[in-house]
Each structure stands twice: as structure tokens, then as C-alpha cells.
Amino acid sequence: MYPIQNDCNIYISGHKRTSLSEETSLIQHFAKNNGISLDYYSNSDFINKFQNDIANLIGFKEALFFPTGTMAQQILLKVNADKTKNRNFGIHEKSHIYAFEDNAYKHLHRLKEILVGQPNKPYLVEDVKNISEKISTLVIDIPYRELGGIPIPWDELEKIKDYCKQNNILLHADGARLWECASYYKKSYKEICKGLDSIYVSLYKGIGGMAGCFLCGNSSTIKEAKKWKKRHGGKLFQETILIASSAYQFDKRLREMSLYYKKAQEIYNKCSDFKELTFYPEKPLINMFHVHMKITVEEAILMREYFKNKKGIWLFNNVFPSQLKDNKSYFEIYVGDILLDKTISEVNTIFELIAKYIKPLLSE
């Protein structure tokens, strides 16, 4: 929780907030009921079992815990570059690796990105075929958070898998929000991941754990990744608490993903008609969407402070410049258990308040 959120009692995105004492109590209860002890440099039956369970769930040989997705994916690209003797990789410009990691792949491993496709939509197999340079790895996002949670269409995803296999391109997925995509694809996680060489999945974004992720791949990839995890300083003295913070709620979150998705559809159907707001995509494809506004980022931050101080409502953590026509800023809505417990009428009232706040600013 952001410290400045503490004064609020109404939230509209993500999962319910817990205090440190509440969270540690839940972990303690889970550990006691399951006979879990603290690990020593990841040497733990509990960690081994949970890693295996995740790998089996999505159809991979092995999974390896990392404290951050940034570390896990840098290492995956490095391992693939060494394996293929090719330092180039293909990626979309909205992918986290390219947009938000301060060029870590260049500075740490001297890797080179080849941008693929168009900025404002997921790339298709034709975009991959048009890559002019030979690449070791193609990175895809399942889904693209920065595009409002848009996944690659299923037919195109299957074509990309086939093309990469036929052309000896290793296919890696940033699956930070893989868990959210089953309702869209109407496929099992194993079916979605079939044909991928590797994937990273988050333990905190949609699941609600404290931090961390799993990198999944074949045995040789994970064997090399373990060496680089140590070299990156990622081999923690104890990992149990981080992993347990996800494990105790993992099954519950997966069961609820379809409910989050349904709620996102209901919110769109009821709340998307305010002319001051533009929901993107036009209809949510997962339990996430963007709300674009005709006010500047600076004005949006002032609006957030107004709602926090005057109404006890926390609207968003971050706001970004909008690329949509006639809009100037946007924020993200992630439909989690917070909105699951609110009626559509309650949610609509909040969006109505936002629209009323924005309306006079547009006439100035």
C-alpha cells in the first residue's frame, strides 16, 4: 500500500489491502497448517513442491523462483543468447523489458533489442516474419498490460508459436498476467503455454503475494538460470516467506479469475458511457482496462488528491500520458476482489463523480 493511501477507505482497483500484521498472521497460519519451515538458500521441500506444482500447471519441466521479474527475464535472455550465440532478441516496444527496465539487458549483458510490430497493438505473425535481423529469442507478452490488457488473438498466437519453431527462434512469454488470460482464451494454462520455450509468471501482480516470480522452462535453461541467479545476487538466504505469501492464496485467486473477468465486463457495460471518460480497450478482454481522460497528467494527480482528501477514495496509484485521440491521460483499473464486493451501482457512482470533477475543467 502506498503510504498516502492510508487515509482512504474506498479503493477501486486491485485486491483488498492488508496490514503487515494481518499479512504475516495469514502466512503464519498457512505455514503452521502445512508444516512449513524456513528454507536455507531455497533448500526446502515446500519451495520445491510449489515450484513443481507451478511448472506442472502450465506445462513446463521446471520452475525457478526469482525475487523480481526483471532479474528473471534478463537472465533468460542472457541464457538464450549464450545458447544460440546470438545477442539479438525481438520485442514489442510496450513490453516491460524494453519500456521500464532502464535498458538493463544492454548494460548487464550487452544484448540488443529488435523492435517488432506496431506500437499500439500486439504483433501478429506477419510482423514476426518481417523481422529483418536474425534473433535468438522472440519475447511476447501474455497479455500486453500497457495496451490495456490486450492478449495476442489465439489464432495468431498459435501461428507465432509454429513460425518460431520452424525457424529455430526461442519463444519466451512475459506472463506476468498469464493467470488473467484463461477466461479470454477459454483455454487451460497448459494449452496457452504449449509451444513456448519459457515463460515468467508473477506471484504478486494478480495473485497478491509480497514479491517474486517463477521462471519456467526446460531443465537445461533452468540449470543455467540458477547460475545467473546467483551471479545477479538473487539467491536469497531465505525465500520461504515471499513464496508462502503467494502460495496461501494462489488457488483461491485462480478460482476467482473468471469472476474478476465477469465483473470487468459488467463494469464496462454500465459505466463506460460518460463522455468525459474513454474505456480502452473498447470492451475489456481480461479483468483489466484503461480509463482515458481529457485532462492532463498533472490535473489527474490533483484530482486523485481531491478524492483522497475530500471523499476518502483512492482512484489510482499511477497516471500516464494518453496516446488516444482527444485524450491526455489515463489510469489502469485492475478488477480484483475489491470490486468483486462492490455493486455495479456503487462502481458507477464513483465513475460518475470522476466525470463530474473533469467536466468543468474541459470548459476552462
Flag whether pLDDT at 129 surpasses 60.
yes
Break the chain into its structural domains and give their ranges: 3-15+253-362, 39-237
* Four-residue CA torsion sign, 65, 69, 74, 77: positive
pLDDT of 3: 46
- Pick among 3.40.50.450, 3.90.1150.10, 3.40.50.720, 3.40.50.300: CATH of 3-15+253-362: 3.90.1150.10
Helix (H, G, I), strand (E, B) or coil at 293: strand
Confidence tier at 295 by pLDDT (50, 70, 90): very high
- Pick among 3.30.2130.10, 3.10.180.10, 3.40.640.10, 3.40.1350.10: CATH of 39-237: 3.40.640.10
The model's pTM is 0.96
For residues 117 and 98, what is the distance between their CA atoms, to the nearest angstrom?
A: 14
Q: In what order do the strands lie in the sheet with 329-334?
A: 277-280, 288-293, 329-334, 320-321
For residues 130 and 127, what is the distance between their CA atoms, to the nearest angstrom?
A: 5
Residue 52 cell numbers, joined: 513443481
Q: What is the largest CA-CA distance in the chain?
A: 63
Q: Is 22 exposed, middle or buried (0-12, 13-18, 19+ CB in 10 A)?
A: exposed
Of 7-21, 242-256, 346-360, the range with the lowest mean pLDDT is 7-21
- Mean pLDDT of the residues in the chain: 96
Q: Is 41 exposed, middle or buried (0-12, 13-18, 19+ CB in 10 A)?
A: exposed
Digit-coded pLDDT (tens) for 147-179: 999 999 999 999 999 999 999 999 999 999 999
pLDDT of 5: 64
Instruction: Indicate the Cα dihedral angle 348, 350, 356, 358, nearest 10°.
Output: -110
Confidence tier at 363 by pLDDT (50, 70, 90): confident
